[in-house]
Structure formats: C-alpha cells, structure tokens
Structure 1
Amino acid sequence: MPHLTSTATGTAHTDVRLGFGIPGFAHPLVAPAEWSQLTRPGAPLHWVVLNVSRGPGDRPDPHCLEAAGRLRNAGVRVLGHLDVMYGARGFGELVSDAHRYLDWYQVDGFSLDRCPTERAALPEVRRTVTTLRALCDDAHIVLGHGTHPYPGYAESADQLVTFSGPWSDYRWSQVAEWTADYPPERFCHFVHGMPRGHLDEALRIARWQGASTIYFTDRVEGGGADDPWESMPGYWDEIVSRIGTGVSE
C-alpha cells in the first residue's frame, strides 16, 4: 500500500486551477439536457467520457455521434470508455473496443474504468496503454483506479483517478505521499453524494490534495444499476461559476 498522509499535513496546492472530467453521462436520449450543457461556453472541461453501452456498442449510434461531434467542435476532448474489470478483461477485447471507438466516434483517448491498482497488474496495463497510444495519435489516457494505485501507474497514463466515492469518505480522505512528486494535472477526484453546502470544503480538499480534474455531484449511489455519474448535479451552474473564475482558496 502507498504511504499515506492526512490532508492536514504536507504541502498545500492552493494555486491549483480546477476543471471538470465528466465520468460518463447517460445516453444522450436519456440525458439530453446534460449533453447540451457541456457545450455551453464557460465550463472548464478537461474531458468527457463517452460510454455508449458499457463500451462502444455493436454499431455506431447516431445520437452519440452527434453528441461527440458537438463536443469536439467545441474543442472538448472526448474519451472512449473501456472497462478493464480490474484486469479480468482480455487485452484483445479492450483493443477491439478501442478500434470501434476510434472508427465510429473519432475519440481523443480513453478512460480505463475499474483499472487494477496492484504492482503485479502494471505490466499488462502498460501493454494496453502502449497499444492504445499506437492506435491514436496524441491519445489522452486516464486510468480509473478510484483509489491510490501502486506509484508506477503514474508513468503510464496522462491522469489517474485516485479518488472515486461518496462525500462521506472524501471529506476524511488521505493522499498518498508519492503523489507530491507529480503535478496536480495528473490526478482526478470524483465525488458523489456531496451536498451543495459543502462545495467550498470539497474544492479546498481537491486543491490541497493536488487534483486538478474533478467531478462533484449531489446524486447518490443507489441499488441496482443506478449510477450517480449519469446525471448532472443540481448545483452545476454554481460549481461552474466557482471554478470558471479561477478563484483559488
């Protein structure tokens, strides 16, 4: 396990400029307002994950094609969603999905969801990332660990998701000491179930822990197939105005 230090110690990254990474809204037919909001000017978007049907689907989807095209025309990076299943999915399956994302949606890179964290799995993840970079020029690669992985993963990807979970955990979370060796642009935090009243506190935590890409939502994780990332937070306009002005705590 990486060595951890509490948020109350270490060096504070108070000058971190934050922006959004969108983990993946529901299908544009289900969440049209969410997708249209993303192309409004003023939102500091780092990238948006396109998850058609737990991956690229079996055939090009016209609604996803339109949504991805609007984002690219607005200068926003679109990433294809690849579910690594903590190492259970085969290399060939992942590469096949990547090819479909590139052929159909002209994505700018990939988000590897449920990425392993342990040292033993690193060579296979590195092999996958190397192949993805060969397929897509200037590919942006995000490894969706959801927690701090073995430090070597930071050398393979453009960004790591080092926190993904509920606000009840995030507000007491710790940051691995090795992350201080990298700039904030390398790390992402995704927090669900976060009440509007704690927005300032959450922004301070992200800056302090050195994560420049965030997504905070008041949506909660429910039973069954409920996904807190599939819809926009009720305070979207408020958080856009806070981050868009570049105010630092």
Structure 2
Amino acid sequence: MTRLCGGGPPGGAGTGPFTLVPAYFHPGTAVHTWRRLLADPPRMAVVTVDHGPGQARDPGCAAAVAALRAAGTEVLGYAETDFGLRPATEVRADLRRYLVWYGVRGAFLDQVAACADRVAHYRALVEEVRGPVVLNPGVYPDPAYASLADLLVTFEGSLAAYRSMREPAWARRLARGRFCHLVHGVPYEQVEPTLRRAVRHAGTVHVTDRTGAAPWRDLPTYFG
C-alpha cells in the first residue's frame, strides 16, 4: 500500500546523510538543537513529545512542526508499537492526536515486529494512516512488510553492528529507495565510508556520532 511515487521518500529539503532525522528532542528544552535542525532542514523528520504525541497539544511542538513543514520537510509522528503487542486502538489514538494537534499525517511506527505472523496487524494499522508510512523493525523483516510501508527501516544500530550487516536476497530485488538505515556511534572520520556502504543498501540514511541508549536525543555534532 505505497503512497509515494518514484520509489523513494517525499520532500525537497535535505541531502546527504541526514535525509531522515529522528528528532527526538523537545523544542522547549533543546532550543539550540532545533535551531540547528531548522538551519539545515532534512527531507524527512520524525517528531515526538513524550514517546508519542503527549497527553495534550504542545504549543512548542506545534510551532516546531510548522517551521519544519514550511521548510519543505515531510514530518512524521512517532508511535511505539511494542513489536505488535501494543493494542492497535492505542496506536491509532496516537496517530489521530498527531493529525488533530499538529497537522501531521505521516507516521513513523517504531519497535515494529519482523515476523510473518504480525503482518496482518500492521497492515490494518497502516491502512488508516493518511500520509507516508515508515515502519521500523530495525532489521530485515519478513519480506511482506516491504509492501506495507513507503519506507522500511532495515537497520538501526551501532557502526560496529553495521559493518557485519548482511542484506537478504529479497531486499536486493527491490529499489534502494524503499529502505532506510539509521546508524549511531559513527565518528566524523567514518561518515564517508559508512555512507559508501549505506548507499548500496538504502536510499535514506541517518548517521550520528551520538552513542548510548538514546542516540537520537540530539543531533550529530557534525550536523550541518
């Protein structure tokens, strides 16, 4: 159920290693970080208030989303799915709040299952999304997931793990623009060789030198 044309994600902003940015930092507490992001807007950005849209409309988040959209960035709302265990009603409620409170139609579904027996669950979820859909299992899942999303995150992890990643045969038969890779722990001197590897597998990439349990809580030090 692909909504995009041309085999890749939408938007005209952003090039290079920051075509999709997980913007998991709040505009009210990370003002400088948001200024850096808006100074070099990416093609796509994922926003979250508190692991989702929050419990009420956040004016600061609304203003930040509006600024990104005005810059040409496709904004996606972050929603956890707990590997298919979170009730679909809760995920749908999150997506409705993003739409009503922030005007965000696209969805970035995180912690997506990779097994075949949850494909129907995710198919029902994405059928209700009004904009672009990114699914993030963080690994190469059952091939059926590729037909559900505009963009499939088939790697999320450290540079050390990325060096040993292997692409399955089914993925090699699809366009690179269908896939996204998110790599953390990438020092500046390793950005270019990492990207050379990435473009063989994915049309959308984000790399950062941040590490730890929450590497997307800030922009890379070399962003922009």
TM-score normalized by the length of structure 1? 0.80
Secondary structure in structure 1 of the residue aligned to 2:56: coil
Please say if 1:174 is aligned against 2:166: yes
Structure whose CA Rg is larger:
1
1:105 & 1:51 partners in 2: Cα distance?
Answer: 11
Please say if 1:232 is aligned against 2:216: no
Detail structure 1 runs of 4+ shifted over 3 Å in the superposition: none
TM-score normalized by the length of structure 2? 0.89
- Corresponding residue for 1:109? 106
What amino acid maps onto 1:33 in structure 2? H
Q: 2:148 aligns with which of 156, 168, 172?
A: 156
Secondary structure in structure 2 of the residue aligned to 1:66: helix
Matches within 5 A, 1:145-224: 145-209=137-201, 211-222=202-213
What amino acid maps onto 1:236 in structure 2? F
Name structure 2 gaps, 5 residues minimum: 1-15
CA deviation after TM superposition for structure 1 residue 175, in Å:
1.2
Name structure 1 gaps, 5 residues minimum: 1-16, 238-249
2:147 & 2:175 partners in 1: Cα distance?
Answer: 13
CA deviation after TM superposition for structure 1 residue 88, in Å:
1.3
- Corresponding residue for 2:49? 52
- Corresponding residue for 1:61? 58
The one of the two structures with greater contact order (alpha-carbon pairs below 8 A, sep at least 6) is 1
Secondary structure in structure 2 of the residue aligned to 1:236: coil
% same residue: 35
1:131 & 1:118 partners in 2: Cα distance?
Answer: 21
CA deviation after TM superposition for structure 1 residue 19, in Å:
5.0
- Please give the root-mean-square deviation of Cα atoms over the aligned residues, in Å: 1.6
Q: 1:77 aligns with which of 64, 68, 74?
A: 74
CA deviation after TM superposition for structure 1 residue 40, in Å:
2.1
Secondary structure in structure 1 of the residue aligned to 2:221: coil
Preserved CA contact (<8 Å) 2:133 2:151: yes
